[in-house]
Amino acid sequence: MEKKAHPLVQLARRAVESYVQKHEVISPGELSPEMKERAGVFVSLKKHGQLRGCIGTFEPTQPSVAEEIIRNAISSATGDPRFSPVGTGELDILDYSVDILTHPEPVEDRTLLDAKKYGVIVAAGRRRGLLLPDLEGVDSVDMQISICRQKAGIMPSEPVKLYRFEVRRYR
């Protein structure tokens, strides 16, 4: 028997299903204390264990975590430029995860990073790349930083500012 998903994950699933099937943006409904918080949120979609969409915000853009989840879930399903929009035939086979981010803090020394515990933001001017923590296949801080540089178009020789954050991950 499949275990019941966390309410934040259920909200993400409802948001995607409503939008993909009816082009409707759901209302968050009754908010738990956790859903009333303000925080950056990433929503990741996987299909058969492979990434199918991942969009998020590292700082809050909405009045609540619930509204952040709804917006980012829909964006993950329909607006991730790496993938075509999710179709109705895929809805039953998608796996969801929701990451609630702590506020990013500057890090002066890369020894204060940990690829399993902390997500990383690499910044050079206005360009920023972000990578969530504890991702399959990302086993080192150097790999995290390299991926962030690539995402932001920052050359390996360019000086960068580093930030770290933690997540509460729900599946």
**Spans of all domains in the chain:** 7-101, 105-170
Label residue 103 by pLDDT band (50, 70, 90).
very high
Place of tokens 């995860």: 97
Identify the architecture of domain 105-170 in CATH.
2-Layer Sandwich (3.30)
Which pTM was predicted? 0.93
Class of domain 7-101: alpha beta
Following DSSP, what letter does each residue of 27-73 receive, concatenated? P--SPPHHHHS---EEEEEEETTEEEEEEE-SS--SSSHHHHHHHHH
Q: Which tokens sit at 166?
A: 């933690």
Give pLDDT, residue 4: 87
Cβ–Cβ < 8 Å for 133, 97: no
Place of tokens 């399993």: 116
DSSP at 77:
H
Chain segment 50-81, per-residue pLDDT in tens: 999 999 999 999 999 999 999 999 999 999 99
Q: Which of 81, 76, 121 is nearest to 98 (CA)?
A: 76
Q: How confident is the model over 107-119, as a mean pLDDT?
A: 97
Chain segment 123-168, per-residue pLDDT in tens: 999 999 999 999 999 999 999 999 999 999 999 999 999 999 999 9
Give pLDDT, residue 3: 65
